[in-house]
Amino acid sequence: MHEKLEITKASEEETTGVVLRIERGSVYDGDGFRTVVFLKGCPLRCLWCSTPESQSHGIEYVKGTTYGQVMSVEDVMKEVRKDSCCYFHSGGGLTLSGGEILAQPIFTRSLLKAAWEECVNTAIETTFFAPWKVVSSILPYVDTAFVDIKMFNNQLHKKYVGSNNKRILENLLKTNELEENFRLIVRVPVIPGINDAQEELEGIGEFCAKLTHLEHVQLLPYHRLGTETYKKLDREYQLADILPPSSEHMSQCRKIVRKHVEKVI
């Protein structure tokens, strides 16, 4: 049984959240042509975060740039509807990203529900770093869930992400109990010298093999996008000396995970 968040139908369209930005025409955040809504706020602090401007929950004003705006569910849906014909022909839809979308649970649930009720395909990009009550309340309105496992080793997770990973892994395992027909795709950012050791990749592969909703695992090569934003925010980018992995290294990492999970891309 799902635990329900307290929200009424009448209030859903007027529910507001803090939106970082909306990007139309993405082909990288789910199937087909997507409208990606980036929300503000994240409780984690990944040292390689490519959108540091999304971490703070509030609206920020930095050197003439405003990061974030308050929008209602209906405000966002007006933007989503502009591309509805493209969703139909491409199999696309709405993707919610962040920040961490579960840091704004009521707004996230209401927005996904509004899209679902209009037959718009929905995808989420998340870490599942939230109480299970929050995670389970939104999944009935999700077609595809992209969930990050940053690291399997808890000590590494604390050091490079800023918290332990117990809640993330527990929530992923709890999805096995759900009957909803959503696609689960686990994403792993491959950071050379940090989480690409064989033992770490073996642990991730063994864990993912236990997930009954899993469609595939996706290994994402580390990049340094967002470094200019760190400069604007007067923040140090702490992984500046790490180079992106080669295609050969990525292939080797996939081979390790593929020992346990059939489909790894």
In a domain, 142, yes or no: yes
Q: How far apart are CA 186 and CA 202, in angstroms?
A: 14
Quote the pLDDT of residue 11: 61
Q: How far apart are CA 101 and CA 129, in angstroms?
A: 10
Strand-pair category, 214-221 with 183-190: parallel
Beta bridge partners of 34: 26, 93
Cβ neighbourhood burial of 64 (10 Å; 0-12, 13-18, 19+): exposed
In a domain, 54, yes or no: yes
In single-letter form, the type of residue at position 182 comes to F
In this model, does residue 219 exceed pLDDT 80?
yes
Taking only the tens place, the pLDDT of each residue in 139-157 is 999 999 999 999 999 999 9
In this model, does residue 189 exceed pLDDT 90?
yes
In this model, does residue 76 exceed pLDDT 50?
yes
Q: How far apart are CA 227 and CA 240, in angstroms?
A: 8
In a domain, 63, yes or no: yes
> Mean pLDDT across the stretch 206-218?
98
Q: How far apart are CA 127 and CA 92, in angstroms?
A: 22
pTM given for the model: 0.94
Cα 37 to chain centroid distance, Å, stands at 11
Band (pLDDT 50/70/90 cuts) for residue 1 is: very low
Beta bridge partners of 39: 19
CATH number of domain containing 152: 3.20.20.70
- Residue 184 parent element (H or E): strand 183-190
In a domain, 245, yes or no: yes
Band (pLDDT 50/70/90 cuts) for residue 9 is: low
In a domain, 9, yes or no: no
Q: How far apart are CA 206 and CA 208, in angstroms?
A: 6
> Mean pLDDT across the stretch 185-212?
98
Strand-pair category, 65-67 with 60-62: antiparallel
CA dihedral 168, 151, 49, 163 (to 10 degrees): 50
Residue 151: DSSP 8-state: -
In a domain, 12, yes or no: no
In single-letter form, the type of residue at position 148 comes to D
Domain count, the chain: 1
Band (pLDDT 50/70/90 cuts) for residue 10 is: very low
Domain span at residue 40 reads: 17-258
In a domain, 219, yes or no: yes
Q: Write down the mean pLDDT value for the chain.
A: 94
* Range from 25-29, 47-51, 128-132, 142-146 carrying the lowest mean pLDDT: 25-29
